[in-house]
C-alpha cells in the first residue's frame, strides 16, 4: 500500500510557470518589486504580486519618489518611468 505522502514528493518536482510583471518598456519586474506607476495621470507606488494565479500590480501607496538633477540648458530635467502591464 502506498503512503499518503507519496504524492508530496511528486508535487515537489513540478515545474511552476515563471511569472513576473513588465514595465512600459517591456523590462521584466520580479514578483515583490515595487515601482512607480502612472495611470490616467495619477502616479502611485505599485508592487508586482500574484492574484488568482495571475501577476498584477497592487497599489501600495500614493505618490512616487521623484529625483531631479540640474540639466544642461538643452537637456531634459526628469524622466518618466511609469509601468502598467503584467505577464504570467
Q: Does pLDDT of 61 surpass 60? A: yes
- Separation CA 74–CA 12 (nearest Å): 57
At residue 1 the predicted structure's pLDDT band, cuts being 50, 70 and 90, is low
DSSP run (H or E) holding 59: strand 54-62
Average pLDDT over residues 73-85: 49
pLDDT in tens, 18-33: 899 988 778 899 999 9
Give the chain's domains with CATH numbers: 18-68 (2.10.70)
pLDDT over 90 for what percent of the chain? 31
Rg (CA), the chain: 20
Amino acid at each position: 500500500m502506498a503512503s499518503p505522502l507519496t504524492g508530496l514528493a511528486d508535487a515537489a518536482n513540478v515545474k511552476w510557470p515563471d511569472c513576473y510583471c513588465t514595465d512600459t518598456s517591456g523590462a521584466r519586474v520580479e514578483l515583490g518589486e515595487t515601482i512607480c506607476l502612472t495611470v490616467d495621470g495619477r502616479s502611485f507606488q505599485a508592487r508586482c504580486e500574484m492574484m488568482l494565479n495571475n501577476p498584477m500590480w497592487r497599489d501600495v501607496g500614493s505618490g512616487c519618489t521623484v529625483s531631479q538633477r540640474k540639466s544642461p540648458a538643452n537637456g531634459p530635467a526628469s524622466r518618466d518611468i511609469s509601468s502598467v502591464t503584467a505577464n504570467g
